[in-house]
Structure 1
Amino acid sequence: MTTINFPSIIENFVEKPKALFIFAHGAGADKSHNFMERFALKLNEKNINVVRFNFPYMDKRLLDGKKYPPNRMPLLEDSYLLLLEKYIKNTSIPLFIGGKSMGGRVAATLSKQLLEHVKGTICIGYPFHPQKKPENLRLAPLQETVLPILILQGDRDALGNKEEIENYALSDLCEVVYFVDGDHDLKPRVKSGYTHQQHLKTAVEQLVRFIHEKS
């Protein structure tokens, strides 16, 4: 039986929070990555508490410097649930879960188990399929959810672009917001007329709007 250590965490908390967002990292970057930190601090400005954490393989990477692949989905789910138990027990404000890419996929996979405790799920750059493998779809979490899910997606994301997504059968509980010319990190090319900073600002605004609507 695999023993899971409690995940290492960063708590970005404010004095009078309106909600708590548990924010999981993607496959290649840890909880302290600039993208994660920028999002967390921007949400703090909107009076939303944020908890960032590492999945087991990422803590192991940081411990010995070796590049381990992500844990299998059941272990990722168990790690997320272990963290959630603490905040479900000790949080009186509305609770939301989600993450960047893989972290959002894990959260979406858990959504159907958490109806009593969680208000909604937020996925930033959902990995609808592996890069260059559009046939290997990961739609089940978005079809089986019992919670509302907000997906913030670049419309040219290599892991699921707008044209592809509009042909998928997703639950009516899923809302997809597209970012013009955005890649997997919502980053547009210069020729689009948009900047990454603009898209990140809009993403935070959409996330806050979703939290207020579902709280």
Structure 2
Amino acid sequence: MTEGTVREWRADGIHGVVHEPAGAPVATAVLAHGAGSNCDAAVLVAVATELADRGVLTARIDLPFRQARPKGPPNRAGAAADRAGIAAAVRALGARGPVIVGGHSYGGRQASMLLAEDPGIADALLALSYPLHPPTKPDTLRTEHFPAIAAPTVIVHGSRDTFATGDELREHTALIGGAVTIVTIEGAGHDLAPARKPTARLTADAVMTALVANT
């Protein structure tokens, strides 16, 4: 089998890495990183590589806040700009097959909010370690926009993640209008341990079954 290619991607206001499959793409995905990371986060690299091997054209992008400064967390006031950055990447990459937006932690949350605000931007959502609430603050939920998400959704969750328990995820993702698939990575924390766990394979299995095949 001919291998796909991996290339740096720079465009107006966009920086990231594109994983192109060997053949014609069966779907397109744009993935964003967490609050303390960038597009080279281990979990994004692993998932993007696996998705491209399955035929999904996948871009892992630096959000605008990370393009502005190499370190430090996002500013709440800049969240709308980060969502706009995901939307710009989707439009610039071009849709080939169903379009999936998502990412890890903060990136997945912003992608979910973008999809709630603009349902036409993508066909599906992939949230890796969705930060349902801050650690030790289970009542501070980040679910207000869930009812506005009508697209099929895959959530990949570490069984030791302090940002949500499995039971909490199952309870609160019931608010999402589209079909929800929860993939649990046993023994993994918020980082999803892609080097030690079958995170990428299990994520890609769920994406191909629940998102690509059904959209």
Same topology, TM > 0.5: yes
Q: Distance in 2 between matches of 1:58 and 1:75?
A: 11
Is the Cα contact below 8 Å between 1:112 and 1:147 reproduced in 2? no
Q: CA deviation at 1:172?
A: 4.5
Task: Name the count of aligned residue pairs.
Answer: 199
What letter corresponds to residue 213 of structure 1 in structure 2?
Answer: A
Q: Which runs of 4+ in 1 moved over 4 A?
A: none
Match in the other structure for 1:170: 175
Q: Per the alignment, do residues 199 and 11 of structure 1 end up closer, same or farther by CA in structure 2, a change over 3 Å counting?
A: closer
Deviation readout 1:141-184 (Å, 9 max, x if unpaired): 32321212211112231001113223435225233222223311
Which of residues 37, 41, 44 in structure 2 aligns to 1:36?
44
**Residue of structure 2 equivalent to 1:209:** 209
> CA separation in 2, counterparts of 1:141 and 1:181?
29
Q: Name the counterpart of 1:10.
A: 17
Unaligned runs of 5+ in 1: 189-194
**Any residues of structure 2 matched to 1:93-112 within 5 Å, and which?**
93-112=97-116
Superposed, which structure 2 residues align to 1:1-215 within 5 Å? 6-14=13-21, 15-62=23-70, 67-72=71-76, 73-87=79-93, 90-168=94-172, 169-173=174-178, 174-187=180-193, 196-215=196-215
1:123 counterpart SS class: strand
The CA distance in 2 between the partners of 1:182 and 1:167, in whole Å, is: 20
What is the TM-score of this pair, normalised by structure 1? 0.82
Contact 2:44–2:103 (Cα < 8 Å) also in 1: no
Larger relative strand fraction: 2
Distance 2:145 2:196 in 1: 28
Q: Structure 1 residues 78, 116: CA separation in 2 closer, same or farther (over 3 Å shift)? A: closer
Tell me what 1:191 maps to. none
Give identity over the alignment, percent.
24
Secondary structure of the corresponding residue to residue 196 of structure 1: coil
Q: 1:48 to 1:167 in 2, by over 3 A?
A: closer
Gaps of 5+ in 2: 1-11
- Tell me the distance in 2 between the aligned counterparts of 1:166 and 1:93: 29
1:3-22 deviation line (CA, Å, top 9, x unaligned): xx612121111232101111
Q: Which moved more, 1:169-178 or 1:100-109?
A: 169-178
Pair 1:51–1:200, CA change in 2 (3 A): closer
